[in-house]
A and B are shown apart, each in its own frame.
Chain A
């Protein structure tokens, strides 16, 4: 039974708990056992909170026994990216500067998960301060892709993705600033969603680039992602950028799973040179599939998307250089060199040099450069104008089509170590995902098969207008259903890294 429990969907687990077929505690124990068994190889978790998880599971069982109505994910275990504050677990953001930090408050998302009876199993590994596409910039070592342990699970939410793909949790929360949910979802064969910016609260999410950071779900099915999306979403007065609008009906859309009557746009700028042949082949098949399911497919050019990557690597580092100024060694976190004679500024500089890893330093300095006088207009200012042009490209496209599609990533999971010392090669992993961060619209990645040359998962990205997140779910669920039927078994059954 324990093995079966870890293979179940979140929806299936919640139904079984509600029906009294299994207790939340049994479900949690099964997942903790799985973590004990495979995490030494996968390294998805930075912290496993077994006692706290069991306590939360018991509370759900008690509520059920008392006849209380349970929410749609009550008793379902979840892996939380270590960038959200938690009062009962450390929050490190994958950085030595925050090693062991115990936050004094819960993030809004942490609180909403607890309220919903979701059982938080622990905190997952990530690229340091969410800067990276592989988890290799974590100060605590990389996570491994359950499809092939010698490869990266993507990033920055790579630990969250690896945990779900390795059946250590049916659900995970990640954050997406330039693709950090969708890219790991794609390379691990999962569903990952970047909601509309402001649709999910940033309160208690340690900031990287505030105008781009978006929390969202990772799951093995589109419906599971939708259930989690609804639990975490909605207006939060603690986040001034939170959108005060109804949550898009993503669960209903995931159940609808029908594309008939929709017009789908293929973006020619997000394909071609630099894309792996198997990725393009699977993408082309997915587009044909959508057509066969009753969608109308057209090509829609978004000319400024070609400039999204350079614009992003000016805007995100600029915001990062400002946000990470808070790590000053004064109020919390690491302090180095405080020998009684060193000045505050010297202590600050020594601490930051020791506490931050190479990628974070690169981005802080790049952002400092882009914002410095004399360069501001040519770099940061220009990038902000390009951001407007990219948003306009989306707006024009969505006048013609309901959703846009592209590959989620140009390649499948790459080998650990391959891009560590080549930042530009690493940045290319976010080529297709960045435009939606700059424009703030919703985007979902759903598996669309394995690349023939390496038998690794390929993701289809579905981009929907701002606050029309449900459209991406509707299309994603249709693709998932058709491919599952064709294949005859869930995609993750083919993952052999842990076999």
Chain B
């Protein structure tokens, strides 16, 4: 099933990538090739086979409940693109209306 250009535009939106038209055209063609190649996994008979999410399974990894120092505000904000009143300054998060 080939991937349509509209689908690629939708993926870009979901991925928070503001892509130009020519970039979308280029990516759509490449993704189509890649997706048809990786779709080969569907040939494998895998009914009843459990999925593996992790190569070396570990469960319930806890550390001791001990208070340890964390980054101070100055260090945490040191690389921020914008800072105001000892906080990260971000663009507006609500719609204008």
Contact = CB atoms under 8 A, between A and B. Distances in A.
Interface in B39-64: 39-44, 46, 49-56, 58, 61, 63
A292 interface: no
How many of chain A's residues touch chain B, expressed as a range?
A: 35 or more
A338 B91 CA distance: 7
B10 to A, nearest CB: 9
A387 B57 CA distance: 13
B56 A382 contact: no
Contacts of A352: 15-18
Given A343-B95, A364-B17, A383-B41, A388 B54 contact: no
Given A211-B53, A314-B41, A366-B31, A386 B16 contact: no
A196 B56 contact: yes
Contact of B27 (A314, A338, A344, A362): A362
A379 B38 contact: yes
Contacts of A350: 18
A310 B80 contact: no
B73 to A, nearest CB: 11
A384 interface: yes
Contact of B56 (A348, A370, A440): A440
A466 B55 CA distance: 9
Interface string A216-257: 000000000000000000000100110100000000000000
B90 interface: yes
A318 B36 CA distance: 16
A362 B31 contact: yes
B91 A342 contact: yes
A313 interface: yes
B80 A386 contact: no
Contacts, number: 183
Interface stretch (A52-60, A161-169, A324-332, A447-455): A324-332
B50 A362 contact: no
B17 A313 contact: no
Contact of A211 (B17, B54, B80): B54
Contacts of B38: 310-311, 313-314, 366, 370, 379, 383
Contacts of B88: 330-331
Nearest to B60: A240
Contacts of B27: 358, 361-362, 365
B14 to A, nearest CB: 5
A321 interface: yes
Given A344-B93, A347-B91, A423-B34, A361 B17 contact: yes
A345 B16 contact: yes
A466 B56 contact: yes
B79 to A, nearest CB: 4
A329 B50 contact: no
Interface in B67-97: 71, 75-76, 78-82, 88, 90-93, 95
A439 interface: yes
A92 interface: no
A330 B90 contact: yes
Given A349-B17, A364-B17, A369-B35, A382 B46 contact: yes
Interface string A180-212: 000000000000000011100000000000011
B40 A346 contact: no
Interface string A357-395: 010011011101110100000110111111111010000
Contact of A310 (B41, B49, B76, B82): B41
Given A384-B52, A439-B55, A102 B33 contact: no
B87 to A, nearest CB: 11
A369 B49 contact: no
A85 to B, nearest CB: 11
B51 A384 contact: yes
A384 B35 contact: no
Interface of B: 3, 7-8, 11-20, 23, 27, 30-31, 33-35, 37-44, 46, 49-56, 58, 61, 63, 71, 75-76, 78-82, 88, 90-93, 95
Interface of A: 101-105, 196-198, 211-212, 237, 240-241, 243, 304, 307, 310-311, 313-314, 321, 325, 328-335, 338, 342-350, 352-353, 356, 358, 361-362, 364-366, 368-370, 372, 378-379, 381-389, 391, 423-424, 437-441, 466
Pick the 9 closest A-B CB pairs, nearest first: A440-B55, A384-B51, A335-B81, A349-B18, A385-B46, A332-B79, A387-B52, A310-B38, A353-B18
